[in-house]
């Protein structure tokens, strides 16, 4: 298990212990966090699980593949340096305590 | 009085109606009825990551069990609806439970079309539609060495790719002269054909199945084609399309014609009853005809539209259709409906398998297929939603941001 905090665009916070290997998208959607849409169910197809990762954890994330980068270009909310698609980041031990902010639009 | 909503079917559409209603602050009761025993789950991975073990059932659940109780959504699983009384607005299940509604939603989906061939009732014949099918197929794949797939459409080819990744010897039989013939132009069918051949799949086009030959004694089984060729096989998978689950609707007098007929607000011929997703037939402005659309996007977007209408809006459904398929490292994303296009423009490099095809009809942009070019796909959806037609030159110029 790893602790993950989601912050909705209105500031509302949710903290969950997620099983290792679950994606940030699954953790949000299955627990009913608002703002992660995940239209395609985690296939890196729709750019509707866009989230902003707390800077302190950025260097611990798996590297971004080209397709994810391209999808992020098309995301509705602005793409920032800490933008990732939630379906492409799996929870690991070293991500314990990660804070994930959810944009207003997907 | 509190409003009561009953939804039949817990696929992508059914569940989304419930979620959207609660998100919009709906205070009435919501009952979701499914004839399946499993908690609602996502279907696309069943023919992809689930088969080769990359995703498990835990990854597929739409919501955790607690979500339903916390949001006061009554989940009635393993219950078949056998009758609906439109006059008394009541749903009856096989175990004699009665659910009253003010609004009813049909989200009953579709089922597999059966292959009509001698010997197809073989115990090693599999179809894929729901989680139970996927689990059965998954365990059958473990034992099989030679796998034959009948149908070179999305489902069949996705299963072929998953089977190859499991080191199976795979044959695909397609009755048409090319793969995914119904939705893709020849240029894309060719790319996928080449890919499957490179991966060692024996793809037979124009292949008509005559019968399934079984030899119990010698444990040799084979698919026989019309030209008498025999293809030895341990496992047969059939993916030759689907039929809408509209019999229940038909039986209570709702208008049906290859699907439950709905108007632009997704109402059936009884205005308190809606139908969405694979089972619903509606006027699709992007295609310029009445049709059913079999996709996650269609189910989800129609569900959102119905939730708003139940909440008192009068919203017509008008979302851009989009679809996708994954096979090996090929990701194909389709936007719009490219029926009867009269012109197309290629964007990107066909030889590197990273390109899009933009389709036009009377100079109007009607859809795009993007192969490993996700940004084009997202741009195409935006353009279609806004009704904007980029010029041929703009599309062909990859330096131009669409």
ipTM above 0.90, yes or no: no
**Is residue B48 less than 8 Å (CB to CB) from chain A?**
yes
Residue B148 to residue B201: CA distance in whole angstroms: 10
| Alpha helix positions (H), B237-348 | 247-251, 296-310
Nearest CA to B307 out of B26, B9, B4 is that of B26
For chain A, the residue count is 106
pLDDT band at B2; cut points 50, 70, 90: confident
CB atoms < 10 A from the CB of B132, how many?
11
B55 with B49: CB under 8 angstroms?
yes
> Which of A16, A31, A35, A46 to mutate against chain B (most B CBs within 10 Å)?
A46
Cβ <8 Å between A71 and B300: no
Rounded CA-CA distance B75/A78 in Å is: 38
Give tens-digit pLDDT for B139-186.
Answer: 999 999 999 999 999 999 999 999 999 999 999 999 999 999 999 999
- Residue B53 banded pLDDT, cuts 50, 70, 90: confident
| Residues β-bridged to residue B142 | none
Q: Give the pLDDT of chain A (106 residues) as one tens digit per residue.
A: 999 999 999 999 999 999 999 999 999 999 999 899 888 888 888 889 999 999 999 999 999 998 899 899 888 899 999 999 999 999 999 999 999 999 999 8
Query: Could you say which of A34, A39, A42 has the minimum Cβ distance to residue B300?
Result: A39
Instruction: State mean pLDDT over B331-353.
Output: 95
Q: Check the CA dihedral B80-B28-B280-B326 and report its sign.
A: negative
Between the two ends of chain A, the Cα-to-Cα distance in Å is 28
Q: Tell me: pLDDT of B1 over 80.
A: no
Rounded to a whole number of angstroms, the distance between the first and last alpha carbons of chain B is 51
Q: Percentage of chain B with pLDDT > 90?
A: 93
The size of the A-B interface in CB pairs under 8 A is 65
- Residue contact A43–B64, C-beta within 8 A: no
Interchain contact, B375 vs A71, CB within 8 Å = yes
CB B38 within 8 A of CB B79: no
B331 at interface of A, judged by CB pairs closer than 8 A: yes
Give B-chain residues touching A22 at CB under 8 angstroms.
Answer: 58-59
Total residue length of chain B: 402
Burial class (CB in 10 A: 0-12, 13-18, 19+), B92: middle
Residue B217 has pLDDT above 70, yes or no: no
Q: Using a CB-CB distance cutoff of 8 angstroms, which residues of chain B are in contact with residue A41?
A: 42, 44-45, 60, 296
Look up residue B156 and give its two tokens: 């069949």
Tell me whether B50 touches chain A (CB under 8 Å): no
The angle, 0 to 180 degrees and rounded to 10, between the axes of the packed helices B131-143 and B154-165 is 40
B326: chain A residues, CB-CB within 8 Å = 43
Question: Helix, strand, or coil here: B132?
Answer: helix
Cβ-Cβ contacts under 8 Å, B23 against chain A: 34
> Measured between alpha carbons, how far is B124 from B144 in angstroms, rounded to an integer?
9
- The tens digit of pLDDT for each residue in B288-317 reads 999 999 999 999 999 999 999 999 999 999
pLDDT-derived band of residue B378, with 50, 70 and 90 as boundaries? very high
pLDDT > 70? residue B109: yes
* C-alpha radius of gyration, chain A, whole number: 12
In this prediction, residue B218 carries a pLDDT of 63
Interface test with B, best of A10, A12, A20, A30 (most B CBs within 10 A): A30
CA distances from B230 to B221, B226, B238, B300 (A): 9, 10, 17, 43
Q: Mutate which of B353, B378, B379, B402 to test chain A, going by most A C-beta atoms within 10 A? A: B378
Tell me, what's the pLDDT at B219?
Answer: 64
pLDDT in tens, B355-369: 999 999 999 999 999
**pLDDT range class, residue B216, cuts 50, 70, 90:** low
Contact status of B253 with chain A (Cβ, < 8 Å): no
Q: CA–CA separation, B383 vs B379, rounded Å? A: 6
- Contact across the interface for B71 and A32, Cβ inside 8 Å: yes
Under DSSP, is residue B273 helix (H, G, I), strand (E, B) or coil? strand
């Amino acid at each position: 298990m790893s602790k993950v905090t989601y912050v909705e665009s209105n500031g509302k916070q949710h903290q969950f212990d997620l099983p290792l290997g679950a994606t940030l998208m699954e953790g949000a959607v299955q627990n009913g966090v608002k703002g992660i849409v995940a239209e395609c169910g985690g296939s890196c197809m729709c750019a509707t699980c866009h989230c902003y990762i707390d800077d302190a954890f950025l260097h611990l994330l798996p590297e971004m593949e080209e397709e994810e980068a391209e999808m992020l270009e098309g995301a509705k909310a602005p793409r920032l340096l800490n933008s990732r698609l939630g379906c492409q980041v799996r929870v690991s031990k070293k991500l314990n305590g990660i804070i994930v902010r959810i944009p207003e639009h997907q | 009085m509190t409003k009561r909503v009953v939804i039949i079917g817990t696929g992508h559409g059914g569940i989304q109606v419930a979620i959207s209603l609660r998100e919009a602050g709906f205070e009435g009761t919501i009952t979701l009825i499914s004839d399946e025993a499993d908690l609602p789950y996502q279907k696309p991975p069943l023919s992809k990551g689930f088969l080769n073990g990359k995703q498990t059932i835990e990854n597929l659940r739409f919501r955790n069990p607690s979500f339903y109780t916390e949001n006061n959504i009554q989940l009635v699983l393993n219950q078949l609806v056998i009758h609906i009384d439109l006059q008394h607005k009541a749903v009856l299940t096989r175990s004699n439970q009665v659910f009253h509604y003010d609004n009813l939603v049909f989200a009953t989906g579709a089922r597999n079309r059966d292959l009509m061939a001698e010997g197809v009732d073989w115990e090693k014949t599999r179809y894929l539609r729901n989680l139970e099918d996927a689990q059965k197929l998954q365990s059958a794949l473990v034992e099989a060495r030679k796998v034959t797939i009948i149908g070179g459409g999305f489902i069949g080819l996705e299963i072929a790719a998953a089977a190859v990744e499991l080191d199976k010897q795979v044959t695909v039989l397609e009755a048409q002269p090319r793969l995914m013939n119904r939705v893709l132009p020849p240029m894309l069918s060719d790319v996928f054909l080449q890919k499957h051949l490179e991966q060692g799949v024996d793809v037979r086009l124009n292949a008509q199945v005559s019968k399934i030959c079984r030899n119990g004694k010698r444990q040799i089984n084979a698919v026989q084609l019309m030209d008498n060729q025999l293809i030895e096989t341990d496992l047969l998978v059939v993916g030759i399309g689907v039929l809408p689950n509209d019999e229940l609707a038909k039986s209570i007098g709702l208008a049906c014609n290859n699907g439950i007929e709905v108007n632009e607000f997704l109402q059936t011929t009884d205005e308190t009853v809606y139908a969405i997703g694979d089972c619903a037939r509606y006027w699709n402005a992007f295609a310029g005809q009445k049709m059913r659309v079999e996709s996650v996007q269609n189910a989800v977007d129609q569900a959102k539209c119905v939730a708003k209408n139940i909440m008192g809006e009068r919203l017509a459904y008008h979302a851009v259709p989009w679809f996708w398929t994954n096979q090996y490292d090929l990701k194909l994303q389709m936007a719009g409906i490219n029926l009867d296009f009269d012109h197309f423009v290629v964007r990107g490099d066909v030889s590197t398998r990273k390109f899009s095809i933009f389709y036009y009809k009377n100079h109007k942009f009607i859809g795009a297929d993007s192969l490993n070019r996700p940004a084009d796909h997202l741009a195409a959806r935006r353009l279609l939603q806004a009704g904007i037609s980029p010029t041929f030159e703009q599309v062909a110029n990859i330096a131009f941001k669409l």
